[in-house]
């Protein structure tokens, strides 16, 4: 018997400024807190879940399939407001959402999106998505709606115009340098695969929202994510849970000298980063790469131009709450540019500013900023139910696949995100004055 079965918390009255229920012609949209997961960890110092109070909501009372053709503008703006405020919206109810409707719902969160997939898989000339990319094996494009990808595990004979597809749930063995032993895997140990933001990080702007629709979800024993970084941290997760952390919480728990550094820093990502990183191997936490000089040299990459390389702030400003979210894809970083501190204080890092190009130095610094945020008490591991439709604010969270499936366990999800029409905003002058 699974003694770690999660306990669904009751629908509590929220102390939000926004009311928990909104009535629309499509029904009454009601918000519930995320389910608590208990016990959370199995390391020596069990701690209670410490998710930010705003983080994630379950939404009930809305027929998603009915929204495709007739979304009221007021509902559209309400959904956007809710997503930016809560970062993850879980629509429960077991309904089936067609790829067309999923695309329409994904567009709700970003009117600026030109309308193609976040990695522009439609454009065969875009070498960013060629066969060398570490993303290549994980995604199968739905022919009629190419912005929607089929992902999952196992053999699928026919689905939405795709035939005889072998889906592979990414296993940490293919990406981590040192792996969980087969014996330990038998005993249920696993890893976070790769903490990331869904974004091409070259040429295209990061998607605002990603939607995930669970079509087929095999249930089995829970597994234990082991951090294997000397801390003893572990996290119990349902099989195949998607792990999320809040970028706002990641920023808020930083000490002042790290906040100052984060606000002053911009990240330049490698050209064609998923090709560039393809030979490199991950740390056991899935939070960035070892610096073993394995990345492809720039002259071995598909053609690129410097103008198309992405330089983005380390902190992205939430358009609804004004909070700063620590948002960085740790495996794709190439260079850091740090502005000088406007009013240097004792303990400030790089008070005079700096340009960092040494990968070991960059990665150690970014790891020290991000590692606190993936501590077990800050991770929400979503326990998928068939029919779940999850929207996450891709500019406000980091996420990771977890777990390992057997070949015969068939899992099917539809995933959609859209390259945005513009890059995320960074800290404003007020933030600089407040944190630096
Ligand atoms: Fe993702």
Task: Kindly give the interhelix angle for 73-86 and 99-108, rounded to the nearest 10 degrees.
Answer: 80
Residue-wise pLDDT tens digits, 123-152: 433 444 456 777 766 789 999 999 999 999
Predicted local confidence at residue 24, as pLDDT? 66
Residue-wise pLDDT tens digits, 324-370: 999 999 999 999 999 999 999 999 999 999 999 999 999 999 999 99
Asked whether residue 187 carries a pLDDT value surpassing 90, the answer given is yes
Stretch (H or E) spanning 276: helix 273-276
Task: Kindly give the interhelix angle for 256-264 and 359-370, rounded to the nearest 10 degrees.
Answer: 130
Q: What is the mean pLDDT of residues 20-45?
A: 68
Return residues with CB closer than 5 A to ligand 1 (ion). Answer: 198
pLDDT band at 31 (very low <50, low <70, confident <90, very high): very high
Predicted local confidence at residue 17, as pLDDT? 45
Predicted local confidence at residue 29, as pLDDT? 84
CA of 227 to the centre of ligand 1 (A): 19
Predicted local confidence at residue 6, as pLDDT? 36
User: Which token pair is 295?
Assistant: 């990345």
Asked whether residue 19 carries a pLDDT value surpassing 80, the answer given is no
137 secondary structure, DSSP code: G
Predicted local confidence at residue 120, as pLDDT? 65
Taking the complete model, does pTM exceed 0.85, yes or no? Answer: yes
Question: Which of 403, 375, 338 lies closest to 192, judged by CA?
Answer: 403
Predicted local confidence at residue 8, as pLDDT? 33
Give the residue, 127 or 201, on which the prediction is more confident: 201
Residue-wise pLDDT tens digits, 212-234: 999 999 999 999 999 999 999 99
Phi, psi of 307 (to 5 degrees): -60, -30
CA of 10 to the centre of ligand 1 (A): 29
Asked whether residue 417 carries a pLDDT value surpassing 70, the answer given is yes
Task: For the chain, give the percent of residues with pLDDT over 70.
Answer: 87
Is the preceding peptide bond at 424 cis, omega within 30 degrees of 0? no
Predicted local confidence at residue 225, as pLDDT? 96
Predicted local confidence at residue 269, as pLDDT? 98
Predicted local confidence at residue 49, as pLDDT? 81
Asked whether residue 320 carries a pLDDT value surpassing 60, the answer given is yes
Question: Which of 368, 397, 86 lies closest to 255, judged by CA?
Answer: 368
Helices (H), ranges, 94-168: 99-108
Radius of gyration of the chain (CA): 21
Predicted local confidence at residue 119, as pLDDT? 82
User: Which token pair is 195?
Assistant: 């903490």
Q: Is the dihedral of CA 111, 52, 325, 384 positive or negative?
A: negative
Asked whether residue 200 carries a pLDDT value surpassing 60, the answer given is yes
Residue-wise pLDDT tens digits, 61-90: 888 877 766 678 888 899 999 999 999 999
CA of 168 to the centre of ligand 1 (A): 14
CA of 229 to the centre of ligand 1 (A): 23
With beta carbons less than 8 A apart as the criterion, state whether 137 and 168 touch.
yes
Phi, psi of 337 (to 5 degrees): -120, 120
CA of 348 to the centre of ligand 1 (A): 33
CA of 197 to the centre of ligand 1 (A): 6
User: Which token pair is 108?
Assistant: 């709700």
Asked whether residue 248 carries a pLDDT value surpassing 80, the answer given is yes
CATH number for the domain formed by residue range(s) 21-248+374-417:
3.60.130
Q: What is the mean pLDDT of residues 256-260?
A: 98
Tokens 């249930």 correspond to what residue? 219
Phi, psi of 156 (to 5 degrees): -120, 120
CA of 310 to the centre of ligand 1 (A): 18
User: Which token pair is 432?
Assistant: 């600089």
User: Which token pair is 202?
Assistant: 């070259």
Domain boundaries, the chain: 21-248+374-417, 254-371+427-435
Predicted local confidence at residue 2, as pLDDT? 37
How far apart are the C-alpha atoms of 106 and 382, rounded to whole Å?
19
- Computed over every residue of the chain, the mean pLDDT equals 89
**Chain CA centroid to CA 149, Å:** 16
How far apart are the C-alpha atoms of 385 and 406, rounded to whole Å?
19
Q: What is the mean pLDDT of residues 313-317?
A: 98
Q: What is the mean pLDDT of residues 273-295?
A: 97
Predicted local confidence at residue 66, as pLDDT? 76
Residue-wise pLDDT tens digits, 383-414: 999 999 999 999 999 999 999 999 999 999 99
With beta carbons less than 8 A apart as the criterion, state whether 239 and 218 touch.
yes
How far apart are the C-alpha atoms of 106 and 23, rounded to whole Å?
21
């Amino acid at each position: 018997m699974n003694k770690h079965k999660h306990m669904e918390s009751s629908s509590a009255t929220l102390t939000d400024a926004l009311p928990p229920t909104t009535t629309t012609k499509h029904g009454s949209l009601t918000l519930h807190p995320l389910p608590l997961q208990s016990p959370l960890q199995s390391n020596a110092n069990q701690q209670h879940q410490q998710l930010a109070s705003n983080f994630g909501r379950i939404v009930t009372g809305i027929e998603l399939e009915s929204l495709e053709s007739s979304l009221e503008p007021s509902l559209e703006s309400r959904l956007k407001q809710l997503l930016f405020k809560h970062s993850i919206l879980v629509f429960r109810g077991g309904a089936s959402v067609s790829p067309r409707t999923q695309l329409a719902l994904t567009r709700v969160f970003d009117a600026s999106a030109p309308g193609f997939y976040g990695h522009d898989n439609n454009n065969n000339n875009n070498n960013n998505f060629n066969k060398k990319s570490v993303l290549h094996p994980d995604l199968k494009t739905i022919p009629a709606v190419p912005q929607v990808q089929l992902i999952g595990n196992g053999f699928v004979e026919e689905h939405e115009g795709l035939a005889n597809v072998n889906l592979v749930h990414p296993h940490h063995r293919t990406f981590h340098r040192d792996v969980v032993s087969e014996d330990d895997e038998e005993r249920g140990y696993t890893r976070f695969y790769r903490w990331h933001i869904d974004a091409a990080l070259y040429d295209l702007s990061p998607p605002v929202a990603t939607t995930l629709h669970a079509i087929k979800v095999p249930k089995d024993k829970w597994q234990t994510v082991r951090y294997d970084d000397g801390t003893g941290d572990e996290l119990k997760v349902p099989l195949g849970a998607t792990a999320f952390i809040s970028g706002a919480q990641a920023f808020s728990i930083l000490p002042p000298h790290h906040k100052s550094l984060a606000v002053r820093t911009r990240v330049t990502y490698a050209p064609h980063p998923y090709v560039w990183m393809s030979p490199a191997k991950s740390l056991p936490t899935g939070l960035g790469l070892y610096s073993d000089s394995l990345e492809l040299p720039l002259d071995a990459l598909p053609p690129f131009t410097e103008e198309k390389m992405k330089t983005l702030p380390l902190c992205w400003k939430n358009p609804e709450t004004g909070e700063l979210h620590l948002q960085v894809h740790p495996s794709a970083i190439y260079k850091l540019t740090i502005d000088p501190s406007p009013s240097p204080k004792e303990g400030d890092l790089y008070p005079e500013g700096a340009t960092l190009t040494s990968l070991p130095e960059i990665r150690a610094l970014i790891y020290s900023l991000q590692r606190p945020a993936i501590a077990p008490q800050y991770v929400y591991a979503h326990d998928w139910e068939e029919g779940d439709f999850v929207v996450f604010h891709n500019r406000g969270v980091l996420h990771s696949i977890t777990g390992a499936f057997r070949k015969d366990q068939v899992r099917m999800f539809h995933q959609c995100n859209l390259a945005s029409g513009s890059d995320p905003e960074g800290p404003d002058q007020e933030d600089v004055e407040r944190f630096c």
